[in-house]
């Protein structure tokens, strides 16, 4: 008779031993995986009528995982991309379980065989210089929050940092002397330096002279002196983009995110003639191929390429069928 394996210690070991100790993944990855399993355990509790602590590993089979993913997409409005990220977290857990529970290998392989869902890859969205200027002018810089928001958005659009990179930045990570730059630990725990332009240096210099909150280490803190949350940053951007849209109607209907500002920086570098390899290094991309998406994003660059080509010379004319029956069909 096969022994029943409790899910709780296995899941705990996955986070503490596999992710934190062995792989030493970033706090952002821990948070993402944690949120995935919180959603999954709540869904499982409703379906199986059992508290998460009483679940056995054998009850977490492939059909249950597929129903969970479908539920996220159909009833919670998650995009296909977000659905695939949830599946990535579950696959990672089951690969860990394969070493801990070899007796459940058949069940594990069926879950690992669940494929990611394909989706239409849309063109990269980005802001124009007019839209960026309107967004940066929106905060009321007579207030502490306005000065913080202005410095945050200016640094985001000029450096192209990811959301996690800019919210985790410390005051000591910013160097404003000769060769001004910000030093961050990016995706894959890779350290990189991103140069700062003179206008950004001026704004950050004034911001760093502001009164510190609590320990004063966080570069862009919230009202309590703590790191800004994802929802806090999005609330800030939504507020200022709504205000900026009154001045720049082009912003109406556009959802401004830190990732959109990152794309905007990449497009400005590309349109300025910067090599793709340099852009990849700037953004912290794993491969130069990732930067390929920006080449497809702007119609202006495609029109410039078309202008440099020699169009074929053709004689305009109209098709004339040589048969009465074809002529009849053509005129229907």
Angle value at C-alpha 156, between 150 and 157, nearest 5 degrees: 90
Q: Which two tokens stand for residue 332?
A: 């229907």
* Catalytic residue status for 285: yes
pTM, two decimals, is 0.69
**Structure-derived torsion over alpha carbons of residues 99, 100, 102, 105, reported in degrees to the nearest 10:** -80
Q: Choosing from 28, 217, 239, 285, which is the catalytic residue? A: 285
The full 3-state SS of the chain, as one line of letters, equals: CCCCCEHHHHHHHHHHHHHHHHCCCCHHHHHHHHHHHHHHHHHHHHHHCCCHHHCEHHHCCHHHHHHHHHHHHHHCCCCHHHHHHHHHHHHHHHHHHHHHCHHHHHHHHHHHCCCCCCCCCCCCCCCCHHHHHHHHHCCCCCCHHHHHHHHHHHHHHHHCCCHHHHHCCEHHHEECCCCCEEEEECHHHCEEEEECCHHHHHHHHHHHCCCCCCCCCECCECCCCCECCHHHHHHHHHHHHHHHHHHCHHHCCCCCCHHHHHHHHHHHHHHCCCCHHHHHHHHCCCCHHHHHHHHCCCHHHHHHHHHCCCCCCCCCCCCCCCCHHHHHHHCC
* Catalytic residue status for 148: no
* Catalytic residue status for 187: yes
Are the C-beta atoms of 204 and 196 separated by less than 8 Å? yes
Q: Choosing from 83, 86, 262, 276, which is the catalytic residue? A: 262
Which phi and psi angles does 193 have, rounded to 5°? -110, 135
Angle between helices 258-271 and 299-307 in degrees, nearest 10 = 20
The side-by-side arrangement of strands in the sheet containing 191-195 is 174-175, 181-185, 191-195
Distances (CA, A) of 133 to 245, 268, 280: 11, 14, 25
Q: Choosing from 171, 213, 217, 259, which is the catalytic residue? A: 259
Q: State how far the Cα of 50 lies from the Cα of 62, in Å rounded to an integer.
A: 18
Q: Which two tokens stand for residue 43?
A: 């869904």
Tell me which residue of 95, 78, 74 sits closest to 86, measured CA to CA. 78
| Number of other CB atoms surrounding residue 25 within 10 Å | 17
Q: State how far the Cα of 93 lies from the Cα of 90, in Å rounded to an integer.
A: 5
Name beta bridge partners: 174. 182
Write down the pLDDT at residue 281.
81
CA contacts within 13 A on the Cβ side of 181: 10
Q: State how far the Cα of 80 lies from the Cα of 331, in Å rounded to an integer.
A: 46
Q: Choosing from 187, 192, 239, 254, which is the catalytic residue? A: 187
* Catalytic residue status for 294: yes
Q: Computed over its alpha carbons, how large is the radius of gyration of the chain?
A: 26
Write down the pLDDT at residue 206.
92
* Catalytic residue status for 319: no
pLDDT per residue, tens digit, the chain (332 aa), is: 345 688 999 999 999 999 989 888 877 788 889 999 999 999 999 999 989 989 999 999 999 999 999 999 888 888 888 899 999 999 999 999 999 999 999 999 999 999 998 877 777 788 889 999 999 999 999 999 999 999 999 999 999 899 888 998 999 999 998 889 999 887 767 788 889 999 999 999 999 988 676 667 889 999 888 889 888 999 999 999 999 999 999 899 888 999 899 989 888 888 888 888 888 888 887 767 667 667 665 665 666 666 666 566 666 666 565 667 767 677 76
Q: State how far the Cα of 16 lies from the Cα of 30, in Å rounded to an integer.
A: 10
Q: Choosing from 83, 148, 150, 162, which is the catalytic residue? A: 162
* Catalytic residue status for 262: yes
Angle value at C-alpha 138, between 185 and 223, nearest 5 degrees: 55
């Amino acid at each position: 008779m096969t022994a029943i394996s409790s899910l709780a210690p296995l899941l705990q070991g996955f986070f503490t031993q596999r992710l934190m100790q062995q792989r030493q993944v970033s706090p952002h990855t821990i948070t993402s995986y944690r949120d995935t399993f919180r959603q999954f355990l709540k869904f499982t509790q409703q379906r199986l009528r059992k508290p998460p602590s009483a679940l056995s590993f054998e009850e977490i089979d492939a059909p249950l995982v597929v129903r969970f993913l479908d539920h996220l997409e159909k009833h919670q409005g998650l995009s296909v991309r977000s659905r695939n990220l949830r599946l990535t977290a579950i696959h990672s857990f089951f690969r860990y379980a394969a070493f801990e529970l070899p007796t459940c290998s058949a069940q594990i392989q069926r879950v690992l065989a669940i494929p990611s869902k394909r989706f239409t890859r849309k063109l990269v969205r980005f802001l124009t210089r007019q839209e960026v200027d309107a967004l940066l002018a929106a905060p009321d810089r007579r207030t502490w929050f306005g000065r913080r928001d202005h410095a945050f958005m200016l640094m985001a659009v000029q450096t192209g940092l990811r959301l996690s990179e800019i919210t985790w930045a410390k005051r000591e990570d910013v160097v404003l002397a000769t060769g001004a730059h910000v030093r961050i630990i990016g995706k894959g725990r890779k350290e990189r330096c991103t140069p700062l332009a003179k206008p950004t240096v001026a704004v950050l210099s004034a911001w760093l002279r502001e009164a510190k909150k609590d320990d004063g280490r966080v570069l862009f803190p919230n009202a309590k002196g703590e790191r800004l949350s994802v929802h806090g940053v999005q609330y800030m951007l939504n507020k200022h983009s709504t205000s900026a849209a009154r001045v720049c109607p082009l912003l109406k209907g556009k959802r401004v995110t830190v990732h959109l500002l990152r794309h905007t920086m990449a497009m400005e570098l590309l349109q300025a003639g910067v090599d793709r390899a340099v852009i990849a290094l700037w953004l912290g991309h794993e491969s130069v191929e990732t930067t390929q998406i920006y080449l497809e994003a702007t119609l202006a660059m495609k029109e410039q390429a078309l202008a440099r080509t020699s169009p074929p010379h053709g004689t305009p004319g109209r098709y004339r069928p040589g048969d009465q029956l074809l002529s009849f069909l053509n005129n229907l």
